[in-house]
Amino acid sequence: MIILGLDISTVTIGFSIVENEKILDLGFIDIKKYKTIKEKVIYTYETLQELKYFNDIEYIIVEDSLSGFARGMTSMQTIIKLSKINGVLCFLIEWMTNIQIELVNPNTLRKTVFGKARIKGVKSKEYVKMKIEEMYDTSEWIKYTSRKNWDKRNIDGYDALVAALYYNKK
């Protein structure tokens, strides 16, 4: 089964397409330059449609957006904006593909895929990066900045990969 995993944020959308835990595609979509939710969502959907395996997708899992606010990790305004983008994008994808989306808490995704959600003293993004790089050679999909540094937005693709991998582990 071909699974699409998405990590939706206000400036970057991480995506991953897997089949039987094999990575078919992995990356991120930069939506920072788009001002309105409509522009961000339409650009994201059009970009996803261009992916080689998009028409083969059978199941979609999205990292739920509301978990950060509970721990005071982000502002209420950011959560509201994120929820709007998440809701509109999920609606559009479901409507256009006729595939129901499953929203899953990030901690649940990590626990299911890695056996635990985090390690004490390690930030969750670093933990995901460490675990994914233990499991896969992602060099084919990783982007670098103009100064040849690892682009931090790759982590959104990694989060989306965790979402996609969740399907076969649950």
Angle ∠(22,26,32) on CA atoms, nearest 5: 160
Q: Hey, what are 136's tokens?
A: 């896969």
Helix (H, G, I), strand (E, B) or coil at 104: strand
Q: Which amino acid is at 129?
A: K
Contact 7, 14 (CB under 8 A): yes
What domains appear along the chain, each with residue ranges and CATH number? 2-169 (3.30.420.10)
Q: Is the pLDDT of residue 80 over 90?
A: no
Q: Name the CA dihedral angle for 86, 70, 113, 96, rounded to a multiple of 10 degrees.
A: -10
Whether residue 25 contacts residue 53, with contact meaning beta carbons closer than 8 Å, is answered with yes
Spatial strand order in the sheet of 2-8: 22-30, 12-19, 2-8, 59-63, 101-104
Q: Residue 59's beta-bridge partner residues?
A: 3
Q: How would residue 76 be classed by pLDDT, with cut points 50, 70 and 90?
A: confident
DSSP state of 151: P
Quote the mean pLDDT of the chain: 93
Show the tokens assigned to 108.
């649940």
Q: Please give the Cα distance from 121 to 90 (Å, whole number).
A: 33
Average pLDDT rounded to a whole number, residues 155-160: 98
Residue 146 pLDDT > 80: yes
Specify the DSSP class assigned to residue 142. Answer: -
* Mean pLDDT, residues 2-11 taken together: 96
The answer to whether the CB of 101 falls within 8 A of the CB of 60 is yes
Would the pLDDT of 71 be above 70?
no
Name which of 24, 152, 36 is nearest 84 in CA terms. 36
pLDDT, tens digit, 9 for 90 and up, residues 89-141 = 999 999 999 999 999 999 999 999 999 998 999 999 999 999 999 999 999 99
